[in-house]
Structure 1
């Protein structure tokens, strides 16, 4: 069978050493079969193992191969649509539950890193940077909103203050969230996988799920084996393909591009980001960046709808980087890659159950690092019969894309063009 390696990224090049994991061969029985060894699958597996379940994880390529090992590495709280939008759509009771959970993912990541001694360069502090006065007004509202749900580690920054943490003259102000932060995302996934195995869980790599036999005792088939389980958790997200057709119709893979500079040296790195916080701007099509532990700048942005790989990633992202930091014009780019995330029409995650025993979570819509860790806990709770928090997510409406899979890409691209224009003209 073909061996799928990691894409060539800075993260793969600087990943902690781990033993190779075998492909599944033959038949296995387990309590829970988790499909996908990204954050959603690994978080689910860990919570289940900590509660006494027998867990088997199937991964089509390698642990963290998808968005979990390719993202910008930023710990950003809440969801891709904030709690006020959710409140207008579902009412105060459900919104209250979802609001209380909006900051839990970041706490779960820190608990995992501490409990299992995961080496992933965890740093505290994330900045939302406002380019216009209108965006600054949104941040002021966001601070009030988040504080309503008990989240207090926030500081509004005026133009002078933001220049102390980001040496960039594009911003009129911003908000600092000290419970945000950044990590080496692939090393976080690898550390969580090691934790899963330390608790007796089994992870099979190069073992794509090719078919699910539904029924009272569902069976997941791979090319060379099968797993019989009491429950299945589907956690493939943007890399699920058409394994579960009813999920594919309501989501769309999108590509985002990331570049990494050569090492900048202590002086230049500290000049760009003196406190080593990560940053994202407040545009709809946002840019995001941070320093690595070896003082490179990771810079990401741009969305390719339908998840095609653009021919020249550096040509798309480098101009954005130079707009923020013109002092990097002579700096070499060492790595450039793309990774897919899963977009939903509402930009809210889709969580639910198919039949009695197939559970799923997908569609983080670009807010996955924290949400996926929460999702694992919520899915594990549901399997243990505690469904209140699961139901709060499951009751969010799941809309199919207009025109189905054929038209979803041009439809979303048109929406992005419109919002891009709004960003450009400061609306």
Structure 2
């Protein structure tokens, strides 16, 4: 059977050592079978194990192989569409519940890191950087909105103040969220997987789910084994393929690109980001960056609809980095990679149940690091019979992409071009 390694990323090169995990080669019985060992699957497994369930996790490649081990590593609160959009869509009652959950994912990450002693370079502080007066006005509104839902660790920054935290002259101002922050994302996933195993959970790598036998006693088949379970959690996100056709119809894998510099040294790193906060700008197709534990700059951005791998990632992202930091023109790029996230038409996550015993969460739309940790808690609550928070997500409306799977890529790219043009023109 083929062995799928990690992509050649900085994260894989600097990952904490972990023991090899076997492929499933037998039939096993469990309370819950989780498909996917990314953040959604691992978070679900941990909450379920802590509640007394037996859990088996199936991973097609390696723990954190997908978006969980390739993302920008930024802890960003809320959802890809903010609470005011949700409120206009579903009304104040449902929005109230979803709004108060919007800041829970970051707290869960910090609780996991502390409880299980996960070494993942956790740092506090995230900056939203405004390039235009309109974007600054949006941040002022966002601060009022988030404070309405009890989130108060926020500071608006004028042009002088933002230059104290990021050495970039593009920004008119910004907002600092001290409950935001950043992590080594693959090491977080590996630490959570070790926590799952410490509680008796089983994780099988190189064990893709190839078929789900639905019914009162569902069975998940892999190439060399099967798992009989009372419940199934589908947590494959952008790497699920067509295993569950009704989930593939309302989502689209998209790629984002990331580069990592050579080590910058303490002085240059401190000059760029004196407080070691992470940063993302406020454009529709945004750029994001931060320092690593060994003082490299990770810089990401761009979207490839349909998740094709660009031929030259550095050629796409390096000019964006130099626009923000021209002082890095002679700095070497050591790593460049791409990874997929799952986009929904509404840009809101899709949560639900198929039949009585197959649960799913997918479609973080680029806001996955915090949301997936919340999703694991919400899915575990639902399996325990506490469905109020699960239902708040499950009742969000979702739609197929216009034109179906054939036209979803060009339509989405056209929409992104329009909003990107608006950003460049300052509208």
Structure 1 segments of 4+ aligned residues over 2 angstroms from their partners: none
Equivalent position of 2:238 in the other structure: 238
Residues 188-213 of structure 1 deviation map (CA, whole Å, 9 limit, x = unaligned): 00000000000000000000000000
Deviation at 1:398, TM superposition (A): 1.3
Matches within 5 A, 1:274-285: 274-285=274-285
Deviation at 1:127, TM superposition (A): 0.1
Matched, 1:102 2:106: no
Cα distance between partner residues in 2 of 1:403 and 1:157:
43
Deviation at 1:220, TM superposition (A): 0.2
Residues 334-377 of structure 1 deviation map (CA, whole Å, 9 limit, x = unaligned): 00000000000000000000000000000000000000000000
Residues 258-278 of structure 1 deviation map (CA, whole Å, 9 limit, x = unaligned): 000000000000000000000
Cα distance between partner residues in 1 of 2:189 and 2:27:
26
Residues 43-96 of structure 1 deviation map (CA, whole Å, 9 limit, x = unaligned): 000000000000000000000000000000000000000000000000000000
Cα distance between partner residues in 2 of 1:36 and 1:17:
20
Matches within 5 A, 1:339-378: 339-378=339-378
- With the length of structure 2 as denominator, give the TM-score of the two structures: 1.00
Cα distance between partner residues in 2 of 1:309 and 1:183:
25
Q: Report which stretch shifted further, 337-346 or 402-411.
A: 402-411
Matched, 1:86 2:95: no
Cα distance between partner residues in 1 of 2:198 and 2:3:
25
Equivalent position of 1:386 in the other structure: 386
Matched residue of 1:232: which SS? strand
Cα distance between partner residues in 2 of 1:176 and 1:356:
43
Matched residue of 1:224: which SS? coil
Deviation at 1:403, TM superposition (A): 1.1
Residues 230-276 of structure 1 deviation map (CA, whole Å, 9 limit, x = unaligned): 00000000000000000000000000000000000000000000000
Alignment length (residue pairs): 427
- With the length of structure 1 as denominator, give the TM-score of the two structures: 1.00
Deviation at 1:26, TM superposition (A): 1.1
Deviation at 1:169, TM superposition (A): 0.1
Equivalent position of 1:42 in the other structure: 42
Matched residue of 1:259: which SS? strand
Deviation at 1:382, TM superposition (A): 0.2
Cα distance between partner residues in 1 of 2:227 and 2:405:
30
Cα distance between partner residues in 1 of 2:90 and 2:25:
45
Q: Which runs of 5+ in 2 are unaligned?
A: none
Residues 314-336 of structure 1 deviation map (CA, whole Å, 9 limit, x = unaligned): 00000000000000000000000
Residues 18-40 of structure 1 deviation map (CA, whole Å, 9 limit, x = unaligned): 00000000100000000000000
Matches within 5 A, 1:12-411: 12-411=12-411
Matched residue of 2:396: which SS? coil
Cα distance between partner residues in 1 of 2:193 and 2:426:
43
Residues 110-153 of structure 1 deviation map (CA, whole Å, 9 limit, x = unaligned): 00000000000000000000000000000000000000000000
Cα distance between partner residues in 2 of 1:422 and 1:188:
36
Deviation at 1:396, TM superposition (A): 0.2
Matched residue of 2:163: which SS? helix
Cα distance between partner residues in 2 of 1:227 and 1:415:
42
Cα distance between partner residues in 1 of 2:298 and 2:414:
28
Equivalent position of 1:3 in the other structure: 3
Cα distance between partner residues in 2 of 1:126 and 1:5:
31
Cα distance between partner residues in 1 of 2:290 and 2:386:
38
Deviation at 1:155, TM superposition (A): 0.2
Cα distance between partner residues in 2 of 1:97 and 1:149:
10
Cα distance between partner residues in 2 of 1:196 and 1:40:
13
